[in-house]
Amino acid sequence: MTRPISPFWPFEWWLAWWDAWGPEPYVAPLTDSGQARTLARLHATAFARPWDGHEFERMLCERSTQAHALWRAGSVQGFVLSRKVADEAEILTVVLSPSVRGGGLSRRLLREHLAALSLAGIRHVHLEVDEGNAPALRLYARHGFAKVGERTGYYTHKDGGRTTALTMRATLA
């Protein structure tokens, strides 16, 4: 059956266009592997051992993966990716494009991601973070993560130096 044309269609069209291309950032689930290469490019801006596009493609196709992207002006400016097992999840990575770092946009990304994990029945979320990564530590603390352990020399930096990983955990409402 053909859907009747809404009298508000110009307004609806404009809203859809604004969501996709307007300057206001928004968060949406990543449900297919179409953005895998973009995620790999963003990941490579932040980590000494970046994951390639195939790796992201594989992860995005797995049912245990939950991922969200931060969109602005029609492009992915950041993402967060977790793996779920029973009622637990591990945040594997959170990255913003260098051009938008420093503005707190990761708060919104992580908040919506954790809310979706909670809705999916997840109760505990784990992660690892470099002990020297101040913005990430602040971000995680804001969202209820607390240190539960550490792994000395876990991360290798681009200059070959090694640093300690803190393991953190949050309990979702």
Ligand X SMILES: CC(C)(COP(=O)(O)OP(=O)(O)OC[C@H]1O[C@@H](n2cnc3c(N)ncnc32)[C@H](O)[C@@H]1OP(=O)(O)O)[C@@H](O)C(=O)NCCC(=O)NCCS
Q: How far apart are CA 170 and CA 173, in angstroms?
A: 10
> Which two tokens mark 25?
């950032």
26 close to 19: Cβ distance less than 8 angstroms = yes
Residue closer to ligand X (CB basis): 65 or 93: 93
Shortest distance (Å) from residue 78 CB to ligand X: 7
Shortest distance (Å) from residue 74 CB to ligand X: 20
Residue closer to ligand X (CB basis): 46 or 76: 46
Shortest distance (Å) from residue 76 CB to ligand X: 13
150 close to 166: Cβ distance less than 8 angstroms = yes
Shortest distance (Å) from residue 153 CB to ligand X: 17
Shortest distance (Å) from residue 59 CB to ligand X: 14
Our CA angle for 104, 35, 31, nearest 5°, is 90
Query: Which residue in 142, 137, 143, 144 sits closest to 164, CA to CA?
Result: 137
Residue closer to ligand X (CB basis): 14 or 138: 138
Residue closer to ligand X (CB basis): 11 or 142: 142
Q: How far apart are CA 60 and CA 129, in angstroms?
A: 22
- Any idea what DSSP says for residue 2? P
Q: How far apart are CA 26 and CA 38, in angstroms?
A: 17
Binding site for ligand X (CB under 6 A): 46, 93-96, 101-106, 129, 133-136, 138-139, 142
Residue closer to ligand X (CB basis): 50 or 53: 50
